[in-house]
Amino acid sequence: MKLVLLGAPGAGKGTQAKRIAENYNIPHISTGDIFRENIKNNTELGQKAKAYMDQGLLVPDELVLELIMERFKAPDCKNGYVLDGFPRTIPQAKALDEALEKNNDRIEYAINVDVDDDVIINRMSGRRACLNCGRTYHVKTLRPKVEDTCDYCNSKLVLRDDDKPETVKKRLDVYHKQTQPLLDYYNEKGILHNVDGTGEIDRIYNDIINILKA
């Protein structure tokens, strides 16, 4: 079971990726996690990635792909994986496909969690984050027991800059320009499946599972 989860920032694909990974006992792989793990373990690839990140630069596609292909060699990827956050562009998708083909491998499903921009802006601007332990809440759907206070470590909850409406809109603009063409790419390959990402998390999850079972 090798799949890519697509969707705009705030579409909820990370939440679904974790559930799919647990259900199929495969790893949820995000580029952020890979960077952190390699930097923490001081690997050669991690040192290279850190050099770019420390300068505020994007890690080049070639290095990201190298890190991902190295991750695929781990024993927990034996039965597949859920890729979240990569690829983001057509060149990345093509490079990933070419690298997999060399190993007689391929992506089997591309699941697009589809949510309107207005819904995402409202959803993300309601997020509140604990900068101490990393847990997130929502002013409407996942409130803390005490207003603006983390349930786990009692730290103050904040609206992150990334979640402010003006920032979210900019991120969505970038997404539509760069990442949305991936939908056409995977559609042409016959592996794209669209899922309505609004509504109950359980319903969205069940829609995805039904696609994977078909």
143 is catalytic: no
171 is catalytic: yes
Of 13, 71, 123, 128, which residue is the catalytic one? 13
Strands (E), the chain: 2-6, 28-30, 81-84, 109-114, 127-130, 136-138, 157-158, 192-196
> Cα–Cα distance between 8 and 173 in angstroms, integer?
10
Tokens of 132: 């101490």
Of 19, 48, 88, 143, which residue is the catalytic one? 88
13 is catalytic: yes
Of 71, 123, 128, 171, which residue is the catalytic one? 171
36 is catalytic: no
The CA-CA-CA angle for residues 116, 84, 199, to 5°, reads 35
Q: What are phi and psi of 129, to 5 degrees?
A: -120, 145
The answer to whether residues 2 and 72 touch, using CB atoms and an 8 Å cutoff, is no
Of 40, 127, 135, 169, which residue is the catalytic one? 127
106 is catalytic: no
> Cα–Cα distance between 197 and 174 in angstroms, integer?
20
Of 48, 50, 160, 164, which residue is the catalytic one? 160
Separation of first and last alpha carbons in the chain: 13
Active site residues: 13, 88, 127, 160, 171
